[in-house]
Structure 1
């Protein structure tokens, strides 16, 4: 695997060693092989790792097969994909309703990861899961296209540097224009499919809610939700616990609908290498 990156104009000078370890999160073993095999070039020249690199420099990295083994993913149908953004390192797609993000069993072939494998494998690339959406949720989801960028984007997600905005339609009338739900979430004691607000044993979870409109005829409120954390079923559990279950939710709701009315509408991030702002929307959304 070969990676070529031109350092952006706002790059702060640092050594190659620090760049690989602290910014690009290359594992120690892989950094050792890059050094001993002289597999890092700066502006076309092999250099020592203690030397500095600066804005405008071009780094070329060559990884051997044993550095990052090729994943074994069943090939799916790439015609099912709707691509919202793509470059050498990242791909953002629209996840359809009813499709799992990734397989839970080795024989599964109809998940979004499988469809991406069908699209990327002919190009000599493979998809890597950064985050997930529930099967019933549609919308924007980002995947890494190589194992080199995967931990960088994963850290961005943990550090809240990837902005995710969801549309939801809930049962009931929400009066206040906005509020923050800061309640820990854990597994349901008796139903392993479900999660609950659990102040004692749950994991920290924060959801910001913004009211958009109220449908008096159906007694439903449209809201935007943004996340500080990414717990399983987080928005669904938080809204249901507040007394406003999402319409069409088979686990936490009380009303039926053709689908779960939850959609990952918008996603923002700064590209980890170019530092360009990427903003994608999955249209038309719920309204």
Structure 2
């Protein structure tokens, strides 16, 4: 069976076993660890190893994957000119999504940001997290199926942090506040979500008031969870609907004033601390009219 791809990196951690590296540090799923071990597809400094072998800091690690490890997946390529890259390496890519563009397509022939990013990268990419169509900002994509579950587990463990700017209506907010209202599906409108503290899913949003305007406020939102429409629902439920929200603001005007401006994580393959920020011209233009 032909090889599909290899992953190579220098071990960024202190001395540990191969098992600890793959299981505890890289968070590789059990099924894939089994394949790597039985096929002897882990090399340390280009040498085959025992599963309990030690890996020193700085050792060259090579992981080899077959087609049956990760079946090939193809995607319809979009327009690479529509991509605003912020960071890219062999493992993942972070881009700045404009408002009005879906993160991924819902129909086979539909083109969305994922299709455009795949065209830009010249290969099939994978969504790690999504933004609503109306929201702009930073989105993370995996560039191979090996790194995808690692990034997904980092997201679950809150090792990937996402920060948003939102321009909201309503009375003056405290300097900081945390919303913990549970979120569930709207029973009569499948597009919407509602606060449902009895049957909903846990949702935690941390807010910081950044600036107060004559009629509105700019807030920073940081997520502990990633429920659909989480920020939009929490703010509207607590009487601070986001300006321009077509679903949750009683009088929406202009674009949804929600922008994912910052994303931070520790690179799982290098241990490097990474932090990225991106602006939105349309968000800034609307903000400048508030003074």
- TM-score bin, normalised by smaller chain: over 0.9
Root-mean-square deviation over aligned CA pairs: 1.4
SS state of the match for residue 66, structure 2? coil
Deviations 1:152-209 (A, max 9, x none): 1111111111111100001123242111111100001111110011010000001111
SS state of the match for residue 211, structure 2? strand
Conservation of the 8 A alpha-carbon contact between 1:188 and 1:194: yes
Partner residue, 1:227: 223
- What does residue range 193-204 of structure 1 map to in structure 2 within 5 Å? 193-204=191-202
2:208 maps to which of 193, 207, 210: 210
Partner residue, 1:252: 248
Segments of structure 2 that go 5 or more residues without pairing to the other structure are none
Partner residue, 1:154: 152
Partner residue, 1:15: 17
SS state of the match for residue 63, structure 1? strand
1:50 aligns with 2:46: no
1:87 maps to which of 73, 89, 109: 89
Partner residue, 2:279: 283
Conservation of the 8 A alpha-carbon contact between 1:173 and 1:214: no
- Report the CA distance shift for 1:159/1:33 in structure 2 as closer, same or farther (over 3 A): closer
Deviation, structure 1 residue 39? 1.9
Q: Give me the TM-score of the superposition, normalised by structure 1.
A: 0.93
Deviation, structure 1 residue 44? 1.3
Conservation of the 8 A alpha-carbon contact between 2:25 and 2:268: no
Deviation, structure 1 residue 31? 2.9
Deviation, structure 1 residue 34? 2.4
Return 182-191 or 66-75, whichever deviates more: 66-75
2:9 maps to which of 5, 30, 33: 5
Segments of structure 1 that go 5 or more residues without pairing to the other structure are none
Deviation, structure 1 residue 35? 2.8
